[in-house]
Structure 1
Amino acid sequence: MSESTSLSRRHLLQFAGLGAAGLLLAGCMPSGGTGAGSPSASAGSGLAPGKFTATDFSFSSWSLTEEAAAPAIRALLDGYKKKSKVDITEVSFPYNEYFKQLMLQVRGGQFTGAAHVDVAWLASLAALGKLEDVSGLTKDRGYTASALKAAQYDGTQYAFPWTIGAIGLVTNSEIMDKAGVSEFPTTIDGFEKTLKKLKGLGGGLIPYAASTKAAQLKDVLIWMQTFGSDLVKGGEVTIGDDASIEAVTWYKSLYDQGLIAPDVDRFDARSLFAQGRTAMYDDAPVGRGAVTKDSPDPDLASKLVAESRPVLKKGDTPRALVWGGAIVVVGGDEGTRTAADFAQWATSDLDAVLADYELRGLPPATEEAQSSKAVASDAFGSRFAEKITATATSNPFWQFPEYAQIETAIAERVQAVLVGQQSAKDAMTQAGEAAQKLIG
């Protein structure tokens, strides 16, 4: 029996739900600095607890552009506005544009306040020198140690951890049953055979709504790791090695066989899954709310099943990518302290966190919320933690401020392979060289 399956449910929620992922993430992030209180690169010397006068501020989030998530975010904002008697200016961009736009606005001094971020972005944002050190406000708020680590960069607590989980495979059990798949495959060979069975159902079903648009092709990195590529080792990019070439060659074969489809990103995949037009796709727990809200099937929620990613050979550890949302505070005006208070409240106040969990179902970052009945009794969330989050690791490119450009360079070469413009070997060699130049 594996360690993850021998844990109690509560410990699994704390370890897989979100302790392990955060610890693994921390192990892959730079560990420089003197600790969470180090203010060396932050906008000030660190925000401190204590009395302050609440002032209007801005809040930025890509979720405000999403039909499924926006009501939950606005409910949270309304709750704080009522509690603190302030106004909050909403700023939003679609996810695929959000990081670039946020970076531009922060760099140019056009945005101050609280911003919802992916933990992958912390290195890039911190490099701008405008994020506040919030360690004084995260202390003694009940965040798990691993969640706090996930929201640090270079030893400084640059963000309040909000939701820390992973990205993995989500399936529709009804479609799987129709194809005669009683047990999810554990190996790549078995996985491909399963996709062929699913295609045999006909009706235009896409067996696996894998990401194939360049904007989301970073998803292929987890398959490279599944095939044995380190991606980065000893400061050197390994893409272009045999494992990465083999992974992209296999991905291309799925594309050519119609087992995955062209021009699909995360949001397309959610739509296809909601409509019953695909049997599986990759997502974080946040996807549950999106697909069930948009589905004509009122029972879809009961058919969602999280599954471990297949491995290259028996005995390998299933790969999954750490996924996490956090709230940073961009300093520079009188609303800074209020923005930080909002971020602290939204991520650690039990009532606020559980109200958000009820609407979005995202794994919380405090021990109190994780052990609450609402979270512990969530069957889908518990299985997701066991099957996916328990073995999740971070993307090793996150440690570099240039990580977004690195992922874009790799995605463009993978796209060239899919559409037949380059061989996997040539494309991955070029991708690796481009990535290496970006990190120096």
Structure 2
Amino acid sequence: MHGYSFARRSILAVTALAALRPGSVQAQGAPLTYVGWSHDEAASRPVLTEAFETFRAANAGVRLETIGFPWAQMQQNVVLRLRSSQPLDVVQLAERWLPQLSRLLQPADLREVLGAELDRVDPGLLRLGQVGGRQLAMPWTAGSIGMVANRKVLSDAGIAEPPRTVEAFADALRRIKRGNAEVVPYAFSTKNNLSISPDFQVWLWTFGGRLFDAEDKVAIDSDAARAALSFLVDLSREGLMARDIDRPDSRRLFGGNRAGLYHDAPLARGFARDNSGQGAVFDTNVAAVATPVLRVGDTPRSLMWGHILALPAARARPAADGPAARLLRHLALNDETQLRYFRAVGLFPVTRSALATLAADDYVTVWTRNAGSAEMDETAAWPNAADLTTIVGEEVQAALLLSKPPAQALADMANRLRRAVANQRRT
């Protein structure tokens, strides 16, 4: 899984244009420029190359140019292209980039471009591309940062079903620890602020807390937040979590049957296949589960995650039958394209009809159902999102390492967040 957003200041500080790496271009036809990263990555390059060639074959009057940048350079290069007036008709984004980049991209509202076609996607998944009530991007591959359980580890500990409540979750972790001291019951990210912050936010929401309230005021110094962080600290004290592990470490432990549960993106099953060395045979051990709830009947929490496609409209509003809209449909609303992408890489499709063909795959159906109530990372809507992520991660880590009591870590977090957003405006 890719990391979390860079600070806006790092985007604006770029002073030189990066070298472009254009893809295949047809000799004739109306120009259409696509910019993204996935088609340049080894795993997804073959299937996306095929998708673009299929589009070209069906749209002979369009001269499609595909430009790729490494994921870590995407935001900077999108900004550079906009500022230097280079073509940008369809752009791939991570969902957490949209609130800030939408100010520069000025994406078309896809409700105005596609209308009722959007109803082919579940409203819960459509939220990945919404800002301020407008549909500024289309989910392309959708899911969440959700919880994964290792069935073998649970079974070895005598646990028949994944825990559904916070109390049952803690009890299950203790049973795993008693059964095998070499296993990390809960592979929570305890290093790397980019992983700590989202994982903590899921528990914060589970206990009824927020980083910010409805009026954008810092709300983290609350009873609910203290309960959430104290819960995690107690798990750490009991040895139910491990110090100094990040998401890649969790994946390796999980694939080696040395972790019971952890948080990840939908690609978790693919990582487990690779890390186990068993391929798809290991799938029987991988279960998508809902984050445990505080009380029966509560909505399980998870954090939005996905790739989205936007149509920048700074120069002109894309037409419903124009080449940009047709490419977006081909990539995100064409079931055949979506399912080929899923089978090649493991990223979930977004249309109801494509998902219906995968109804027998519990991993996909359970994860997609849980993702319907996922929430956006609370830091993403702020211009200095990376600064806020760092603050949250550092203070949570300080509590987990027992260098600060939970109440002190949250009080310090609140003060630092207030200073950080004092002169900022949330999108």
Whether TM exceeds 0.5 here: the answer is: yes
Q: Which has the higher contact order (CA 8 A, sep 6+)?
A: 1
Partner of 2:193: 214
Taking the aligned partners of 2:140 and 2:254, their CA distance within structure 1 comes to: 26
Q: Is 1:171 the equivalent of 2:171?
A: no
Taking the aligned partners of 1:74 and 1:265, their CA distance within structure 2 comes to: 32
Partner of 2:339: 354
Whether the aligned pair in 1 keeps the contact of 2:141 and 2:347 (CA below 8 Å) is yes
CA distances 1:100-156 after superposition (whole Å, capped 9, x unpaired): 646764675497454332323211111234545555543343543624443122244
CA distances 1:291-313 after superposition (whole Å, capped 9, x unpaired): 22443124211221122222234
Q: CA 1:346 to 1:62, structure 2 compared with 1: closer, same or farther past 3 Å?
A: closer
Whether the aligned pair in 2 keeps the contact of 1:353 and 1:369 (CA below 8 Å) is yes
Q: Tell me the SS of whatever aligns to 2:185.
A: coil
1:26-425 alignment to 2 at 5 Å? 53-55=29-31, 57-61=33-37, 64-65=40-41, 72-77=47-52, 79-80=54-55, 86-93=64-71, 97=72, 101=76, 105=80, 109=84, 112=88, 114-142=90-118, 143-144=120-121, 146=123, 147-202=125-180, 204-212=182-190, 213-218=192-197, 219-235=199-215, 236-298=217-279, 299-330=281-312, 341-371=326-356, 374-386=357-369, 388-425=370-407
Taking the aligned partners of 1:439 and 1:277, their CA distance within structure 2 comes to: 40
Q: CA deviation at 1:239?
A: 0.5
CA distances 1:375-423 after superposition (whole Å, capped 9, x unpaired): 223222123244x235434444444444443223211221222334333
Whether the aligned pair in 2 keeps the contact of 1:138 and 1:160 (CA below 8 Å) is no
Aligned residues: CA RMSD? 3.3
Q: Tell me the SS of whatever aligns to 1:322.
A: strand
Q: Which amino acid aligns with 2:121?
A: T
CA distances 1:4-29 after superposition (whole Å, capped 9, x unpaired): xxxxxxxxxxxxxxxxxxxxxxxxxx
Taking the aligned partners of 2:177 and 2:81, their CA distance within structure 1 comes to: 46
Taking the aligned partners of 2:401 and 2:324, their CA distance within structure 1 comes to: 46
Q: Which amino acid aligns with 2:92?
A: H
Taking the aligned partners of 1:247 and 1:381, their CA distance within structure 2 comes to: 29
Taking the aligned partners of 1:63 and 1:189, their CA distance within structure 2 comes to: 44
Q: Tell me the SS of whatever aligns to 1:279.
A: strand
Whether the aligned pair in 2 keeps the contact of 1:176 and 1:198 (CA below 8 Å) is yes
Q: Tell me the SS of whatever aligns to 1:392.
A: coil
Q: Tell me the SS of whatever aligns to 1:311.
A: coil
Q: Which amino acid aligns with 1:305?
A: A
Taking the aligned partners of 1:69 and 1:201, their CA distance within structure 2 comes to: 40
Taking the aligned partners of 2:397 and 2:143, their CA distance within structure 1 comes to: 28
Q: CA deviation at 1:222?
A: 0.9
Taking the aligned partners of 1:99 and 1:57, their CA distance within structure 2 comes to: 15
Taking the aligned partners of 2:367 and 2:259, their CA distance within structure 1 comes to: 19
Q: Which amino acid aligns with 2:328?
A: A
Taking the aligned partners of 1:321 and 1:202, their CA distance within structure 2 comes to: 30
Whether the aligned pair in 2 keeps the contact of 1:57 and 1:338 (CA below 8 Å) is no
Q: CA 1:162 to 1:247, structure 2 compared with 1: closer, same or farther past 3 Å?
A: same
Q: Tell me the SS of whatever aligns to 1:200.
A: helix
Taking the aligned partners of 1:105 and 1:250, their CA distance within structure 2 comes to: 44
CA distances 1:145-176 after superposition (whole Å, capped 9, x unpaired): 62444312224432122133333211111121
Q: CA deviation at 1:318?
A: 2.5
Taking the aligned partners of 1:375 and 1:315, their CA distance within structure 2 comes to: 27
Whether the aligned pair in 1 keeps the contact of 2:37 and 2:74 (CA below 8 Å) is no
Whether the aligned pair in 2 keeps the contact of 1:68 and 1:293 (CA below 8 Å) is no
Q: Is 1:431 the equivalent of 2:413?
A: yes
Q: Which amino acid aligns with 2:137?
A: A
Q: CA 1:425 to 1:71, structure 2 compared with 1: closer, same or farther past 3 Å?
A: farther
CA distances 1:320-348 after superposition (whole Å, capped 9, x unpaired): 223332112456899x9756543331101
Q: Tell me the SS of whatever aligns to 1:310.
A: coil
Q: CA deviation at 1:209?
A: 1.6
Q: CA 1:192 to 1:98, structure 2 compared with 1: closer, same or farther past 3 Å?
A: farther
Consecutive unaligned residues of structure 2, counting only runs of 5 or more, are 1-27, 423-427
Consecutive unaligned residues of structure 1, counting only runs of 5 or more, are 1-51
Q: Tell me the SS of whatever aligns to 1:127.
A: helix
Count matched residues. 381
Taking the aligned partners of 1:99 and 1:247, their CA distance within structure 2 comes to: 34
Taking the aligned partners of 2:137 and 2:29, their CA distance within structure 1 comes to: 22
| Identity of matched residues, % | 25
TM-score by length of 1: 0.75
Taking the aligned partners of 1:285 and 1:103, their CA distance within structure 2 comes to: 26
Q: Which amino acid aligns with 1:426?
A: Q
Taking the aligned partners of 2:271 and 2:194, their CA distance within structure 1 comes to: 19
